[in-house]
Amino acid sequence: MPIEIKMPALSPTMEAGKLAKWLVKEGDAVQAGDILAEIETDKATMEFEAVDEGKIAAITVAEGTDGVKVGTVIATLAGEDEDAAPAKAEKPAEEKKPEAAQPKAAAEEPKATAEPEAPKAEAKPVSTTSQTQEGRILASPLAKRLAAEKGVDLSGLTGSGPHGRIVKADIEGAKAGTAKPANDQAASPAAASAPAATPAPAAADKPASVDMAPETRKLLDDRIPHSVEKLSGMRKTIAKRLTESMQQAPHIYLTVDIQLDKLMALRAELNDALKSQNVKLSVNDMLIKALGKALIVVPECNVTFAGNELIRYSRADISVAVSIPGGLITPIVQDADGRSLSSIATATKDLAERAKSGKLLPSEYQGGTASISNMGMMGIKQFTAVINPPQSTILAIGAGEQRPYVIDGALGVATVMSATGSFDHRAVDGADGARLMAAFKEFVEKPLGMLA
């Protein structure tokens, strides 16, 4: 009896997702653990693995289909003693194609009518690459995007990731300007199905083929050259959550100036000691630790407003804002107050790398008790950040710069940064927010206190 493969729930709150790309085709034999598809959630593009073995009998939801509800049957798997029946799968696949291709109807229609020949067209350009498995190139979503931006031909690369998978490092070390038009479709999961027949026209027609909402048409000024693109699931979620945050949580902002010279001197000394362990601390790693310690000293800010209740946390899990292609994600450094600085440095590096390649698990970016956002490395002197719900505290870190500063009662020059805390005034009183900022300043200006 065929086994139904259903749309998985990749996070506790996931209700629907986008089937970004199929990595198998009808008739393919799969083993438990093989990657079947790439599924785009509101925060990341994640790989979906097979849990059973057999042959793909039918694909019932086409790649590129958005809003696929959790539990929907997306494919069927035939067991060892059964025959895969691609012919039966054609009907559901064709019925779904127009729905999946609404933004690109013009580009998708020719492909839908030539469905039986599609596997031959796809197999031809990748048949000689060492990164293929049953006619496909193994590459992470980030690697594909970077390859498209740099003009790198994936078929000419040898992957250094698991099972020969091409990853970000392989693209960064590759020679640019070698992309082949036939492989352009691998650059983005969202556009994977559009350029199969005629890549160049599909790319040119994309803005015009977007089915715009009436509100978009009202805002559009046709006199100005433009393009229109559909919002990704991530961008929709960011817009929704931050709008809710600004509308529902009354923000209060508190700013302090903090001297960094002692922290930077300690960082240099610690990095020298940690060199043999191949660990390098950043200023941000130390600020994460300082915020974690400050939240334990002032637990009134380590809370969540829940309407009729107030949730108080006894551990500081810090969400760190990381910019990724298409949006922002906040991986969590757990137990930031209790961990060593070297452990925080290792964790933040790993989380940031996997965030940018879409490899974070939902548990690694959902939750947290407070957030930190550092734009100082981009030269931003001071800014205010929007609270990351359901948290009540977020710290915005500006650039450290040489400024006139009073040192031991005398005017001198010091490295100073501005830090601004945003607090949910429903849960955090201004005086408690001020105490947190003072504690944070104390830990940064006297950094040995973080190590005690």
Give just the sign of the alpha carbon dihedral 419, 420, 424, 429. Answer: positive
Active-site residue flag, 226: no
What is the Cα–Cα distance from 305 to 249, expressed in whole angstroms?
9
397 Ramachandran zone, left/alpha/beta (phi>0; psi -120 to 50): beta
What is the Cα–Cα distance from 150 to 66, expressed in whole angstroms?
28
What is the Cα–Cα distance from 186 to 77, expressed in whole angstroms?
25
Give just the sign of the alpha carbon dihedral 365, 436, 287, 235. Answer: positive
Return the CATH superfamily for domain 237-451.
Answer: Chloramphenicol acetyltransferase-like domain (3.30.559.10)
Return the CATH superfamily for domain 129-230.
Answer: E3-binding domain (4.10.320.10)
DSSP 338-353: TS-HHHHHHHHHHHHH
CB atoms within 10 A of CB 114: 12
CB atoms within 10 A of CB 71: 13
- The secondary structure of residue 232, as a DSSP letter, is P
Look at residue 161 in the predicted model and tell me its pLDDT: 66
Domain 1-100 in this protein, CATH class: mainly beta
Name the catalytic one among 163, 226, 251, 425.
425
Closest CA to 337 of 424, 419, 449, 191: 449
What is the Cα–Cα distance from 280 to 23, expressed in whole angstroms?
38
What is the Cα–Cα distance from 56 to 6, expressed in whole angstroms?
13
Here the tokens at position 89 are 């799968």
Look at residue 83 in the predicted model and tell me its pLDDT: 58
Q: How many residues does the chain have?
A: 452
ω into residue 201 within 30 of 0, thus cis?
A: no
Give just the sign of the alpha carbon dihedral 298, 304, 310, 315. Answer: negative
Break the chain into its structural domains and give their ranges: 1-100, 129-230, 237-451
Here the tokens at position 248 are 């529902």
Considering the entire predicted model, what is its pTM? 0.61
Q: Are 308 and 449 in contact (CB under 8 A)?
A: no
* Sequential pLDDT tens for the chain (452 residues): 778 888 888 766 677 888 888 988 888 888 888 888 888 776 677 788 888 888 888 899 988 888 888 889 999 888 665 655 544 433 444 444 444 444 444 344 444 444 444 444 443 443 334 444 445 677 776 777 778 777 787 777 777 765 677 777 777 777 555 544 434 433 333 333 333 333 444 444 444 456 788 888 888 888 899 888 888 777 888 888 889 899 999 999 999 999 999 999 999 999 999 999 999 999 999 999 999 999 999 999 999 999 999 999 999 999 999 988 878 899 999 999 999 999 999 999 999 998 888 788 888 988 999 999 999 989 999 999 999 999 999 999 999 999 999 888 889 999 999 999 999 999 999 999 999 999 999 999 999 999 88
Look at residue 176 in the predicted model and tell me its pLDDT: 55
The 3-state DSSP class for residue 229 equals: coil
